[in-house]
Amino acid sequence: MAEKQSTEACGRCSMTTVVDAVDANSDDGLRDPFGDDRIEVEESAVRRVSPVAWLQTATARLNAAVQRLAYGQ
- Tens digits of per-residue pLDDT, 2-24? 566 565 556 556 666 666 666 66
Name the region of 23 (left: φ>0; alpha: ψ -120 to 50; beta: rest).
alpha
50, 21 contact by CB (below 8 A): no
State pTM to two decimals: 0.36
Percent of the chain having pLDDT more than 90? 18
The number of angstroms, rounded, from the C-alpha of 37 to the middle of its chain's C-alpha atoms is: 20
Please report which confidence band the pLDDT of residue 63 belongs to, taking 50, 70 and 90 as the band edges. Answer: very high
* Mean per-residue pLDDT, 27-45: 69
Q: How many CB atoms lie within 10 A of CB 1?
A: 3
